Amino acid sequence: MKRVYVLITGRVQGVGFRYSLYIKALQFGIKGWVKNKDDDKVEAVFEGEQDKINHILEFCKKGPFLVNISNIKIKEEQYNGEEKFRILR
């Protein structure tokens, strides 16, 4: 099992990006969270199997319709055992 912290920059707020990540996380069986930051970025933590983490990271690099990703930073962290995936406010 793996855990990654992701910081995403671009047009990522007000376009349904957090919700689309929530749906993808449920589809892939990924645990963790996603939230908007005050500086117009989105941050997320994903926990799960390596191949599923890779799939959601690929989605983060493109995003859904209306999202325009300009930068993504990915940092591996120690696995923590998140219980579910949540959208934080």
Other C-beta atoms lying within 10 Å of the C-beta of residue 47 = 22
- Known catalytic residues are 18, 36
Neighbours of 80 (CB within 10 A): 12
